[in-house]
Amino acid sequence: MKKIYLLGLFTAVASVSFAQWSVQQSPARRTFTRSEISPRASIRQEMTPSIDWSNRVVLLTEDFQGVSGTLPAGLPAGWSTNQVVQADQSLGNAFKTHSSSTANGGGYWPVPQVGTGNKFAGANDDDTPCDCAMDDVYLQSPALDFSAASNIAISFDIFHDGNFGGGDATLQVSTDGGTTFNIVPIGVDETGANIDVFPLDQDYWQSIIVPLYNVTSSTVVIRFQWTDAGSWASGFAVDNVIVGELPANDIRVVKTKTGDWNQADFGLGFWDYNRVPVTQVSPVHATSVIFNGGTNDQVDATMSYEVTFNGTAVAGSPFAADQTSANFLSLDKDTISVSTTWTPSAVGTIQITGTTTSATGDDVASNNTGTASIEITDFTYGRDADAAQAFVGPTSDFEIGNLFDIYADDSFGGIDVAIGAGSAAGDPIIGRIYLWEGFDAAGDPIFTDIGVETLEYIFTGNEFNSVGENTFVTLPFSSPVTLNADNVYLAVVSCVSGTRIPVSGSNEWVVSWLYDGTSWGATGSIPMVRLNSDETASVASVNGTSSFELGQNMPNPSNGNTTIVYNLPSNERVTLTVRDMTGRVVAVSNEGVKPAGKNMITLNTEAFGAGVYTYTITAGSSNLTKEMMVK
């Protein structure tokens, strides 16, 4: 079991090995510049575990909801911040009261919306009228009296994505009324060294608790400090600040995921995907990050997991976790996993609900569960969250994609990719597969090109995605590609400079990579690049010359140009006919006499309404028909 020695950080941190290769190195992270990323919009929400402060001493509570007027606005009474020089040379507050929409007014700091009408304090280095130098800005509390209380801690939420070169954020405390401040460690790492800076998370608010047991002054001031590190950075936000006495017993679930974070190998149920093809299923695994938010150590904290498939409980559910967290220290956290005995065998939705309990007891029962889900699909293997959150594209040609662990030998017909708004119509894209062979001594990934490429695809402009959209195109292999069990492969798309690939979700496990022509770097978010195990997505079925065959149009669904591939056994006069579902002919194309072998037709579907259509290839006296979707 991996013990995470952090004092209340609500962010999953663990080390894991994939196959026989360690991932405990810290590979280089690819940070995008302003010119390489389009405006961002958040698609995720934080599900903050509640803290029951009733019947305990509370010295301060601030959720910023009481601030009135047009946002961004000033801070609540008693709170203060320093001033910075704005773009118009006037002075303005570094921290202001924001909503999610005002925080993202410049388009590059997508603070997730929590509930309805949520307000918080934030420093934004981007939006008008700022574009300010924020090399040392702070949000400071009113003075507090700690002299008559015990077991005092501070609980708060932060949104700290570190994007565009943003620097560190710290918690600081003054015991002399705000004259001098010292950084408060928020935890210790596995070597025992203090952790002085807040962790990063590009998608979620993080809930953090830090003990202040040794602070006894009657004039305590608390400060949140942040620096943009001299860069054009995003921002830093604080919400739901509570200073008070902790409960004695409070065991809670911070996060539940599909996959076994305590398992060493790929290919044995380490999923952590959103979509898995039915050919790649294995016994279901789950992991939860649990946190001891009370002052007492916990004994034998554990998890049980109820698993449902398409709404029906599976046999053996609920499943007991494979281990417990014994001697679970106050304000510590741990990961607990379960390996179930159930393997899905059909397409559907798996829902996992994990519940934690402890022999020590629990004073707060409202935060003891966490949920996760995964889709079992016909053909789609994907990690992304299925909706474009932002669009990345370096200023040089690049490759970007995700790792996929292969549980069973399987044939794949292509690579699915979403293409982002801001890409140029007429630009090409092609897919490739690499074998991942671990990390070298410097911590850099080793990728070996296995010599497999898709057909080149030319953008039309009609397939581009805006924020929140999820239109994919399939890049087919020339023939189905077999990927072998117990191996890990990197599926990438190779793009020209300026192409924008949507990202969706957070790259927690260093499974997403980008090559900028010089080196590989881990991306902060997950590119919308997937494997497609539908063998008919490839054009193998039309490569022969012995039969009349019709391939599936690509892309499908389509809202612009789509390509239809067909095979002729001999020279024939060819006609394409498209009908709607009532049988009405909506398009006819006389292709003339076409030679034996593979032929292609590009069909523009822009004038078609959204819906299901059929397309028929008539060759001489023979015809074949398939369905297609139009968006």
pLDDT in tens, 37-67: 444 443 333 334 445 555 567 899 999 999 9
Cβ-based neighbours of 109, under 8 Å, separated by 6 or more: 40, 103, 124, 126, 127, 161, 163, 234, 235
Exposure of 87 by Cβ count < 10 A (0-12 exposed, 13-18 middle, 19+ buried)? Answer: exposed
Of 419 and 568, which is predicted with more confidence?
419
Ordered domains of the chain (ranges, CATH): 53-246 (2.60.120.200), 251-377 (2.60.40.10), 393-536 (2.60.120), 540-630 (2.60.40.2550)
Q: Is a pLDDT exceeding 80 seen at residue 236?
A: yes
Q: How does pLDDT run across 267-304, given as a tens digit for each residue?
A: 444 467 899 999 998 888 898 888 888 888 888 899 99
Distance CA 458, CA 492 (A): 16
Tally of CA atoms within 13 A in the half-sphere of 399 that contains its CB: 19
Closest CA to 452 of 404, 413, 485: 413
CA distance between the termini of the chain: 48
Counting every residue, how long is the chain? 631
Distance, in Å, from the CA atom of 179 to the CA atom of 430, rounded to the nearest integer, reads 60
* Spatial contact of 181 and 170, defined as CB atoms under 8 Å apart: no
Who wins on pLDDT, 559 or 491? 491
DSSP 535: G
User: Over 80: is that where the pLDDT of 543 sits?
Assistant: no
b/e for 506-527, b at 16 or more Cβ within 10 A? bbbbbbbbbbbeeebbbbbbbb
Per-residue confidence at 429, pLDDT binned at 50, 70, 90? Answer: very high
**SS3 assignment, position 252:** strand
Read off the pLDDT of each residue in 215-231 and give the average, rounded to a whole number: 93
Mean pLDDT on 229-249: 89
- pLDDT tier for residue 518 given thresholds of 50, 70 and 90: confident
Tokens linked to 307 = 């698993």
- Residue 343: exposure state from Cβ atoms within 10 A (0-12, 13-18, ≥19): exposed
Up-side HSE of residue 101: CA atoms within 13 Å toward CB? 5
CA 156, CA 154: separation in Å to the nearest integer?
A: 7
Neighbours of 441 (CB within 10 A): 6
SS3 134: coil
Q: How far apart are CA 614 and CA 576, in angstroms?
A: 10
